[in-house]
Amino acid sequence: MVSPNNKWLIFSDLDGSLLDHDTYSHAAADALLAKLDQDEIPVILTTSKTRAEVEALRVELNNRHPFITENGAAVYIPQGYFESKPEGCIERDGFWVYSFSQPRSHWLSILDNAKKIFPYSFSHFSAMKEEVIAQVTGLSQQQALQANTREYGEPISWLGVESAKQVFIQWLEEQGGHVLQGGRFLHLSGFCDKGKALVWLAEEYNKQYEKECTAPALKTIAVGDSDNDVAMLEAADLALIIRSPVHAPPKLKRVRGFFISEEFGPVGWNSGLRKIL
């Protein structure tokens, strides 16, 4: 399926995809990650996680490529990765940053108003202590601290009945918010998603490769397991859906160019990508 005449970019979700849903281990994918690095195929971490969480994981994975945080709210490109700073980016902490959402403070203000309309029906990260976040996510307290350093959006834990959750989501959207259902939480942010971020970053790669007369055609592969991955699974040239032990595979509108792994998490990530590549 994959032609040597193409230059491939892999946009990968983390939790439940590259990382095991329960243990957060990526060991089953390590050999393939090393091979992709050797073959100069970028793996672009595309996640609901924060910049702090992804930076720690990039060190662990020896990943030097751009990454996408908070469900597509922002793209971080290491300064100097491209010949020139992409248009619309700001410089922050050694990165060129392109954002698609208002800052977190905007959404926290809206949630404060929501508590008057939906009392005791939800909680969210900024209202939780790190030990509580650790308990509900399975993260260590240090990892929970990193998870709470959000810049653009807010994870929400719904505590009410399912029917009321839809009313809650509709109300948030009426306030200008965009709500995505992740593996564990609702994610509130601006009108952004992983698909928009994928398209924007792929176009930036294209602009760079156009400077090389012999550059191959650029193609994208998206890997994900949840509803918040649907936008990028639809936007990519090829899509790999990772099976989950806790929910059904997300449904796509596309009828071709997608695959579903046989195994869960990083085991499925490894075998599914190997079959495609």
Identify any residues that bridge with 220 across adjacent strands, giving them in sequence order: 9
Q: Is the pLDDT of residue 160 over 60?
A: yes
Q: What predicted TM-score, i.e. pTM, was given to this entire model?
A: 0.88
The CB density around residue 21, as the number of other CB atoms within 10 Å, is: 20
Q: Is the pLDDT of residue 101 over 60?
A: yes
Domains (ranges, CATH) in the chain?
6-100+193-276 (3.40.50.1000), 104-189 (3.30.980.20)
118 token code pair: 């939906």
Local confidence band at 57 (pLDDT 50, 70, 90 cut-offs):
very high
DSSP string, 61-90: HT--S-EEEGGGTEEEEETTSSSSPPTT-E
Strand arrangement of the beta sheet that strand 186-189 belongs to = 122-124, 154-158, 186-189, 178-181
Whole-number pLDDT of residue 126: 94
Whole-number pLDDT of residue 215: 59
Cα(257)–Cα(223) distance, integer angstroms: 12
Of 159, 96, 100, 102, the C-alpha closest to 128 is 159
Whole-number pLDDT of residue 1: 39
Tens of pLDDT, residues 191-218 = 999 999 999 999 999 988 776 655 567 9
Q: Is the pLDDT of residue 115 over 70?
A: yes
Q: What is the mean pLDDT of residues 155-166?
A: 93
Q: Is 13 a catalytic residue?
A: yes
Q: Is the pLDDT of residue 36 over 70?
A: yes
Angle formed at CA 243 by CA 197 and CA 68, multiple of 5 degrees: 20
Q: Is the pLDDT of residue 27 over 50?
A: yes
> What does pLDDT average to over the chain?
93
Q: Is the pLDDT of residue 275 over 70?
A: yes
Q: What is the mean pLDDT of residues 258-276?
A: 97
Whole-number pLDDT of residue 211: 67
CA 177, distance to chain mean position in Å, is 18
Q: What is the mean pLDDT of residues 170-174?
A: 97
Sort strands 74-78 and 217-224 into parallel, antiparallel or unpaired.
unpaired
Q: What is the mean pLDDT of residues 37-45?
A: 96
Whole-number pLDDT of residue 208: 84
Residue of 13, 20, 225, 229 marked catalytic: 13
Instruction: Tell the burial category of 62 from Cβ atoms under 10 Å away from its Cβ (0-12, 13-18, 19+).
Output: exposed
Of 249, 48, 80, the C-alpha closest to 150 is 48
Q: Which long-range contacts (CB under 8 A, 24 or more apart) does 105-112 make?
A: 107/153, 107/154, 107/177, 107/188, 107/189, 108/154, 110/172, 110/175, 110/176, 110/177, 110/188, 111/154, 111/156, 111/188
Three-state secondary-structure class, residue 7: strand
Local confidence band at 62 (pLDDT 50, 70, 90 cut-offs):
very high
